[in-house]
Structure 1
Amino acid sequence: MGSIFNLSPFYIAKGDVFGKEQPIILVLLDITPMMPVLEGVVMELQDCALPLLREIIATDKEEVAFMDLDAAILVGSMPRREGMERKDLLKANVAIFKSQGAALDKYAKKTVKVLVVGNPANTNCLIAAKSAPSIPKQNFSCLTRLDHNRARSQVAIRCGVPATQVKNVIIWGNHSSTQYPDVHHCVVNMSGCEQPCFDAVKDDAWLKGDFISTVQQRGAAVIKARKLSSAMSAAKAICDHMRDLWSGTPQGEFTSMGVYSSGNSYGVLEDLIYSFPVQIKDKTWTIVDGLAINDFSRAKMDATAQELKEERDTAVEFLGV
Structure 2
Amino acid sequence: MAHFGYTMMTEQAGPRELVAHAIGAEKAGFDFSVMSDHSFPWLESQGHAPYAWSVLGAAAQATSSLPFMTFVTCPTFRYHPTVIAQKAATMQMLSGGRFRLGLGSGENLNEHIIGAGWPAAPVRLEMLEEAVGIIRSLLAGDTVSHRGPHFDVDNAKLWDLPEDPPAIGIAVSGERSCEIAGRYGDLVIATEPRRELLEAFDTHGGAGRPRIGQLPVCYDTDRDAAIARAHDQFRWSLGGWQVNAELPGPASFEQAGTHIRPQDVADVIPCGADAHAFVEAVRPFRDAGFTEIALVQVGGDQQEPFLRWAQAELLPALREL
TM-score surpassing 0.5? Answer: no
Whose relative contact order is higher, 1 or 2, with alpha carbons under 8 Å and at least 6 apart?
Answer: 2
